[in-house]
Amino acid sequence: MSFLRREYKFDNSTLISNDSGKVSPVRRLRKVLKPILKIVKRKSCTRKTLAEILDNNYNSSLEEIRSEASSEELDQNDANEMLEEQLLNKLSGQRQRCVPVHYVRTEIGTFFWTSTQMSS
């Protein structure tokens, strides 16, 4: 009883072929599953690319919002600086009054008072 039998090992799976020309069940299963797996792989790649596109759109919209907010802040800062400069110019043009204040510290506390005469 001599059997002509060959065994092939590919990717940890054993493919056995007889001389009678029969195809092994593993090979038939692989032949059926290969196109299905290609379709699944393509769809998963498409899903990934759609997810990446949505993520990129979300990130770009956040950047636009931030840039608009920063430009509004810059405009407000410029306006505030102009107002501050105008107020400083008005205040420097006016003569400031100095009011002398006297104080005494006692055990009860510190007392402050001003004189009724304005200093010149």
Radius of gyration (C-alpha) of the chain in whole angstroms: 44
End-to-end CA distance of the chain: 134
Cβ atoms of residues 112 and 103 within 8 Å: yes
Q: What is the pLDDT of residue 109?
A: 92
Cβ atoms of residues 118 and 96 within 8 Å: no
Residues 31, 38: Cα–Cα separation, whole Å: 12
Q: What is the pLDDT along the chain (120 residues), one digit of tens a residue?
A: 444 555 555 554 444 544 456 778 888 888 888 888 888 888 777 777 777 888 888 888 888 888 888 888 888 888 899 999 988 888 776 766 778 888 999 999 999 998 876 555
